[in-house]
Amino acid sequence: LAEAGKEVHFLLHSDYDFVAQHGLRVDSVRGDFHLKHPSIYKTTADMPLCDVVLVCLKTTHNELLKELLPPLIHKDTLVVLIQNGLGIESDLADTFPNLSIAGGLAFICSGKVGEGHIVHSDLGKISIGGYGFSSSPELEAVCADMVQSGIPADISPDLMLMRWRKLVWNIPFNGMTVVLNTTTDKLMSCPQTHELSYQLMLEVVAGANACGVALTVDFAQKMMAMTEKMTPYSPSMKLDFDYNRPLEIEYIYTRPLLEASRRGCDMPRISMLEKQLRFLTVR
C-alpha cells in the first residue's frame, strides 16, 4: 500500500530505530522494493486518526489493542483484524462496542528475516469480511485500495465461513508440526498422520456445521490434496515454537473448541491437540 502511494502509518516496535535510519525493505516474488522514509511511529499516541487500521499483530498480543486503538479511531474508522482464529472480532467488539470491525484472512508466505527486512516468498491473496455486516463503503474502499496497490484482495460476504475454512488447514498442521516436531510433507507422507490430519479436518467441519457455518467435507478434501502438493513447510505456529515465542493456541484451538462445545459438538482430537500444545508451552 505504501509503495503504491497510499497514506500508510506504521507502528513499529523493536525495529523502529533501524527503519528510521535504513527504511523498510521488502523482497517479494511480485517485485522487490524499498521504502526509504516510511511514516513510522513508536506508539499509537503519536499517530494521526486513521480511516482504516490493519491489525497484523499475533493474536497472543491482542490484549494490547485496548490501549493501542483509542488514539487511532474516529467514528467511521474500520479496524481490520488480519489474523488467524475464531472469536477475535467478538472479543474486540466486547471492548469497543461501537467500533466497525472486519476480519482479514491472508493467504501468504512471508516473514521478517531481519531488522526492517521482510521476505514475501509465495502467494499473497487477502480476503476481508465485515463483522456483523456484509458490506460498507469503508470495507469497499479498503478492498479497492488493496487491489489498486496490486494486492489480490476480495470481500467475502461470510466472515465466519472464511475463518472456519482457514481453520481446516491451521488446526491440523499448526499443532501437529509442533507436537511432532516436523514439517507438513512428513505428516502427509506417513499414512497414520495423513489419516489423522484428515480426521482433524473433519472435526473442524463438524464444529463449523454445529455453529451454523456451511463448511463442507469437500473443502477438507481439497485442503488435503493441496497440502499433498506443497513443498516441505513449517506453519507459523511451528516457527513461533522454535523461536520460543508464544503460540496462538487461544484463538486457533481453544475458542473453536468452546464455540462447538456450546452447541453440543465434541471435537476430541482437536481437544487433545490443544492440551498437548498447552503442555508444551508451559515447559
**Residues found near its own copies in the complex (CB under 8 A):** 179-180, 182, 186-187, 190, 192-193, 195-196, 199, 268-269, 272-276, 278-280, 282
Contact between 106 and 82 (Cβ < 8 Å): yes
Contact between 31 and 5 (Cβ < 8 Å): no
Supply the minimum distance, in Å, between the C-beta of residue 225 and its own copies: 20
Supply the minimum distance, in Å, between the C-beta of residue 278 and its own copies: 4
Residue 49: helix, strand or coil by DSSP? coil
CA 183 to chain centre: 20
Q: Which is nearer to its own copies, 225 or 282 (CB)?
A: 282
Dist. CA 87–CA 163, nearest whole Å? 9
Q: Which is nearer to its own copies, 210 or 280 (CB)?
A: 280
Contact between 124 and 117 (Cβ < 8 Å): no
Q: Catalytic site residue 112?
A: no
Q: Which residues pair with 112 in a beta bridge?
A: 118
Q: Which is nearer to its own copies, 6 or 278 (CB)?
A: 278
Q: Which is nearer to its own copies, 22 or 186 (CB)?
A: 186
Supply the minimum distance, in Å, between the C-beta of residue 221 and its own copies: 19
| Side-chain-side CA neighbours of residue 181 (13 Å) | 3
Q: Which residues pair with 50 in a beta bridge?
A: 73
Supply the minimum distance, in Å, between the C-beta of residue 164 and its own copies: 20
Dist. CA 52–CA 31, nearest whole Å? 25
Supply the minimum distance, in Å, between the C-beta of residue 168 and its own copies: 17
Q: Which is nearer to its own copies, 99 or 202 (CB)?
A: 202
For every residue of 205-270, DSSP letters joined together read HHHHHHTT----HHHHHHHHHHHHHSPS---HHHHHHHTTPPP-HIIIIIHHHHHHHHTT---HHH
Q: Which helix (H) or strand (E) holds 76?
A: strand 73-82
Catalytic one of 75, 125, 166, 186: 166
Q: Which is nearer to its own copies, 1 or 180 (CB)?
A: 180
Supply the minimum distance, in Å, between the C-beta of residue 61 and its own copies: 22
Q: Which residues pair with 39 in a beta bridge?
A: 9
The residues that are catalytic are 166
